[in-house]
Amino acid sequence: MSVKGKTAVVTGSNSGIGLGVARELAKAGANVVLNSFTDRDEDHAIAAEIAKEFGVEARYIQADMSKADQCRALIENAGQCDILVNNAGIQHVEPIDTFPTEKWDAIIAINLTSAFHTIAAALPKMRAAGWGRVLNIASAHGLTASPYKSAYVAAKHGIVGMTKTVALETAEEPITCNAVCPGYVLTPLVEAQIPDTMEKYNMSREDVIKKVMLERQPSREFATVEQLGGTVNFLCSDAAKQITGTTISVDGGWTAL
């Protein structure tokens, strides 16, 4: 079984990890539904470019992952949903005693609760089709913690727990549910932070990457969005048929420490 002809819905996928995963799925022959909270011409253009490049169907559907009804509407509007990749996420860094309540609520809603709603809406479609794959993009912070990231760490630990629960609920069906846990990934957002960090610490690009950004990543190399997409493709394959309810770390050894 390959992903060719399957439909993948990837939340938070007009840039970064989500876009990288969507592109790798399209490259393998899956039709893709891209998503974010914006509804710009360039969002729809990204989908059109993917369709042209890989010869698949690709659409962009606007939906705000902080809103329960829009999460479920995304799945309904997608029509078919054989592969669900819950990737949407935001971050805020601050000590817990001053952490803004509205930031906590937004991070929990987008990073965790949205996946509850999309999974709940997608499972009936997967059952009707007789096949399904749920991939939750968690984080190394779903398995370990860092200071000042209380909401993010809580949400990502929650995603890992929900992954296990969904896997148990679908264990006797041709549906799997797994979490992919990246460490630091080279995305346009991360790339844009490098020059400012070089200036702040008066360091070379190489030193900023190895000594500041990747201090906790033993490989001292970023993971790439293509590697994450490849991991998702593997988890959709027959070789991964008995892999369910687990975490796959793509973190350069971070969680081995």
Region of residue 41 (left: phi > 0; alpha: psi -120 to 50; beta: else): alpha
Instruction: Indicate whether 133 and 218 sit together in one domain.
Output: no
Region of residue 248 (left: phi > 0; alpha: psi -120 to 50; beta: else): beta
Q: How far is CA 224 from CA 3, 70, 122, 209, in A?
A: 21, 29, 28, 14
Q: Which residues constitute the domain of residue 97?
A: 7-184+224-256
3-state secondary structure 168-206: HHCCCCCEEEEEEEECCECCHHHHHHHHHHHHHHCCCHH
Distance CA 86, CA 116 (A): 9
Asked whether residue 1 is assigned to any structural domain, the reply reads no
Distance CA 146, CA 153 (A): 8
Instruction: Give the H or E element holding residue 123.
Output: helix 114-129
Instruction: Indicate whether 51 and 134 sit together in one domain.
Output: yes
Instruction: Indicate whether 25 and 57 sit together in one domain.
Output: yes
What mean pLDDT comes out for the span 164-180? 98
Mean of per-residue pLDDT scores for the chain: 96
139: three-class secondary structure by DSSP: coil
Q: pTM for this structure?
A: 0.96
Grade residue 159 by pLDDT with cuts at 50, 70 and 90. Answer: very high
Tokens of 40: 């710009």
CATH number, domain at 242? 3.40.50.720
Instruction: Indicate whether 144 and 202 sit together in one domain.
Output: no
Q: What pLDDT shows up at residue 1?
A: 65
Instruction: Indicate whether 72 and 42 sit together in one domain.
Output: yes
Q: What pLDDT shows up at residue 193?
A: 85
Catalytic residues: 152
pLDDT tens track for 119-158: 999 999 999 999 999 999 999 999 999 999 999 999 999 9
Domain count, the chain: 2
Strand order of the β-sheet with 247-250 is 58-62, 31-36, 7-10, 83-86, 132-137, 175-182, 247-250
Number of neighbours of residue 102 by Cβ within 10 angstroms: 9
Instruction: Indicate whether 206 and 132 sit together in one domain.
Output: no
What mean pLDDT comes out for the span 156-167? 98
What mean pLDDT comes out for the span 2-20? 96
Instruction: Indicate whether 130 and 210 sit together in one domain.
Output: no
pLDDT tens track for 50-67: 999 999 999 999 999 999
Q: Please list, in sequence order, all residues whose beta carbon lies within 8 angstroms of the beta carbon of residue 141, skipping any fewer than 6 positions away.
A: 149, 152, 153, 156, 157
Asked whether residue 228 is assigned to any structural domain, the reply reads yes
Asked whether residue 78 is assigned to any structural domain, the reply reads yes
> Which residue's structure tokens are 């817990």?
96
pLDDT tens track for 65-115: 999 999 999 999 999 999 999 999 999 999 999 999 999 999 999 999 999
